[in-house]
Chain A
Amino acid sequence: MFAWLSGPGAVFKQPTGEPQYISSYDRSTWERKDKTRNPDAFVQPYPFNRYFKSQPVLSDAFREDIYTRVKRDNHSIRQVSAALNVSIERVAAVVRLKQVEKEHVANGGKLCTFLTKALDQMLPVVDVPTRADGGSGSGGGGGGPFENIQELPIHSLARRQVFVPTSESREFTRADAGKEFGLPAADVMVPHPDLVTLAKERNEIIPLEERIMRQKERDRLEEIRREAEKERAAERRRQKKVLEVGRWKWCFTEAETGKVGFRYGFPLPDRKKGHVKIPTHVS
């Protein structure tokens, strides 16, 4: 054992700045394995548990890049997510936490980076992608996107089994499947439906200029939609007034006579059969 400790095992004595998993070494020769040929060995910290994989983490430079793209360049979180191949939730979380970090530093606080540094030595760290198309040198999978950004969230409505008899001649698409579950099509439900459209157009061999034209039109419509949504939100806020008087907050909402109020001559329907009054979920 001591021969091993002073020989090939010496690399495990001190941290070297990158993950040193025993699985990444060949057991007979104690040579480092080829990362491109078996990338899985480099993310497997427990030699006997091959199902446990270290998940890659974003480097600080990467997180800073995400923050500047959102805050300084005013890109939407969706755009940054699509450009860098990082999931929408992760981008949002990075921006939030970076904001907290910066406020903390601005208030004269100090950053405690010990744990981050320690974890960066134990986990595959992904740095800022160098190419413009977003392919990042992933420390885990060895070259490729940081994560799958098009993961379809499983809706609870889609968890049941459905048997739908259809004729063989009928083309049963994802949209039809969604309709059976009472959901939109999977192409619309994914986090980035616009990327699906782009890929479809690319496969249809539409000339580049045409594709750019279409995308511009879509961007314009999206901009209009977002503006309208902002206006509606402002209108809702205008109609809503919250006052703090005494023990309570009082929320006043503008209503319209004829539409507001409980109706006369109609009993409340909550005693009817089939109304579940026990809460079925916690909001």
Chain B
Amino acid sequence: MVIKIRLARFGRRHAPVYNIVVAHARSAQTNRPIEVIGTYNPIPVPPADGIGKGTKHIELDTARAKYWLGTGAQPSDPAWRLLSMLGLLEPKWSIARLQSKAGKSAVKPKEPRNVEDVTKSIQGNIGIGEPGATAKEN
């Protein structure tokens, strides 16, 4: 069975905190995992002086995380995001976005695929004989 590195939700309503766990893929979120290798608090601690960015705290046993990745454990998307920030993995989503931008993937990019095309079509609205011209006349 696939071993996954994933988050297990703890905490209360509107106050989630997560254990970063190594567990069998088909076990429930609340099941006792194979191993707890860290915690993740998604609620940012506001900066002390009120200026700047809030801090999200992550505790992680990096040695165990590396070991489990070495055995082929599959991180879930949120776990992948955290581990890639530490440099244990290649970042997943930014690469996918770059690929999609270049037209190599089916993932929808956040930005318009080709900015020039869009601007041209908007400007075309004004010109006569362009696809948007009829809409303007109406």
Q: Does A associate with B in a complex?
A: yes
Chain A contacts to B: CB under 8 angstroms: 241-245, 247-257, 260-262, 264-265, 268
- 4 tightest CB-CB pairs across the interface, nearest first? A261-B36, A255-B59, A262-B10, A249-B55
Interfacial residues, chain B to chain A (CB-CB below 8 A): 10-12, 17, 19-21, 32, 35-39, 44, 52-62, 64, 85-86
Q: A199–B19 Cα gap in the complex (Å)?
A: 55
Known: A254-B62, A255-B60. A260 touches B39 (CB 8 A): yes
A131 to B86, CA, bound (A): 58
Q: A243-B85, A261-B21 are in contact. List 15 more A-B contacts (CB 8 A).
A: A241-B86, A245-B85, A248-B53, A248-B55, A248-B56, A249-B56, A250-B55, A251-B58, A252-B58, A253-B58, A254-B60, A254-B61, A255-B37, A261-B36, A261-B38
Give the CA-CA distance A268 to B39 in the complex, in Å: 15
20 A-B pairs (CB sep. < 8 Å): A244-B53, A247-B53, A248-B53, A248-B56, A251-B58, A252-B58, A252-B85, A253-B57, A254-B62, A257-B36, A257-B37, A260-B59, A261-B19, A261-B20, A261-B36, A261-B37, A262-B17, A262-B36, A268-B10, A268-B11
Do residues B61 and A255 form an inter-chain contact, with CB atoms below 8 A? Answer: yes
| B21 (CB) vs chain A CBs: closest residue | A261
Q: Say what secondary structure dominates the interface of chain A.
A: strand
Say yes or no: A257 contacts B19, CB within 8 Å. no
**Shortest Cβ gap from B50 to chain A (Å):** 13
A125-B117 Cα distance, complex, nearest whole Å? 75
| Interchain CB contact under 8 A, A260 and B53 | no
Q: Could you say which residues of chain A place their CB within 8 Å of the CB of B59?
A: 252-255, 260-261
Please give the distance in Å from A251's CB to the nearest CB on chain B.
5
| Nearest-neighbor residue (CB-CB) of B82 within chain A | A250
| Docked-complex contact A257 and B35, CB < 8 angstroms | yes
With a cutoff of 8 Å between Cβ atoms, the chain B residues found around residue A252 in the complex are 58-60, 85-86
Please state if B61 and A242 are interface contacts (CB–CB under 8 Å).
Answer: no
Which A residues are CB-close (under 8 A) to B20? Answer: 261
**Nearest-CB residue, chain A, relative to B65:** A257
A250–B87 Cα distance when bound, in Å, is 13
Instruction: Specify which chain A residues have a CB less than 8 angstroms from the CB of B62 in the assembled complex.
Output: 254
The reply to whether A255 and B85 form a contact with Cβ atoms under 8 Å apart is no
Given A260-B37, A261-B19, residue A250 in contact with residue B61 (CB < 8 A): no
Q: Which residues of A contact B57 (CB under 8 A)?
A: 251, 253
Query: How far is B40's CA from A262's CA once the two chains are assembled, in angstroms?
Result: 11
Distance, CA A249 to CA B85, complexed state (A): 11
A260 to B64, CA, bound (A): 12
Cβ-closest chain A residue relative to B57: A251
Distance in angstroms from A147 CB to nearest chain B CB is 30
Contacts of B11 in A (CB 8 A): 268
In the bound assembly, the distance between CA atoms of A248 and B81 in angstroms comes to 13
Task: Name the one of A245, A248, A255, A264 contacting B39, with C-beta atoms under 8 angstroms.
Answer: A255
Give Cα distance in the complex from A252 to B36, angstroms: 16
Taking CB atoms, residues of chain A closer than 8 Å to B55 are: 242, 248-251
Residues of B within 8 A of A242 (CB): 55
> In the complex, what distance in Å separates the CA atom of A198 from the CA atom of B118?
81
Complexed CA–CA distance, A156 and B123 (Å): 71
Q: B64 CB to closest chain A CB, in angstroms?
A: 5
Contact check, A251 vs B56: say whether CB atoms are below 8 A apart.
yes
Q: Which of A243, A245, A249 contacts B54 (CB 8 A)?
A: A249
Given contacts A248-B56, A249-B53, A262-B39, contact A257 B61 (CB under 8 A): yes
- Beta-carbon contact of A260 and B38 below 8 Å: yes
CA separation between A265 and B64, bound complex, in Å? 23
- Taking CB atoms, residues of chain A closer than 8 Å to B10 are 262, 268
Q: Which residues of chain A are near B58, meaning CB under 8 Å?
A: 250-253
